Amino acid sequence: MSEENEREILNELKKMNEKLDKLNEPSPFTMPIIIVIGVAGYLLLAPFLVDVFVSIL
């Protein structure tokens, strides 16, 4: 293979590697979103579960 072909292949591999790195970066908003969903779920489900357990007793 010629040097030009090798350079093209290397450039393509570098581009693919950069794209994969971007996909693997953690999003900065994931933890706050998880916390908000957890709190919202607790606030929505807790009263219902308390009613169920109180009615059983």
pLDDT at position 1: 66
pLDDT at position 57: 74
pTM (predicted TM-score): 0.46
Q: What's the token pair of residue 41? A: 């779920």
Total domains present in the chain:
1
d(CA 11, CA 19): 12
Residues 6+ apart with CB under 8 A from 47: none
1 or 46: which carries more pLDDT confidence?
Answer: 46
The domain of 9 spans: 3-56
| Residue 2 neighbours by CB distance under 10 Å | 7
pLDDT digits (tens, 9 = 90+) for 19-52: 998 888 877 778 889 999 999 999 999 888 888 8
pLDDT at position 54: 86
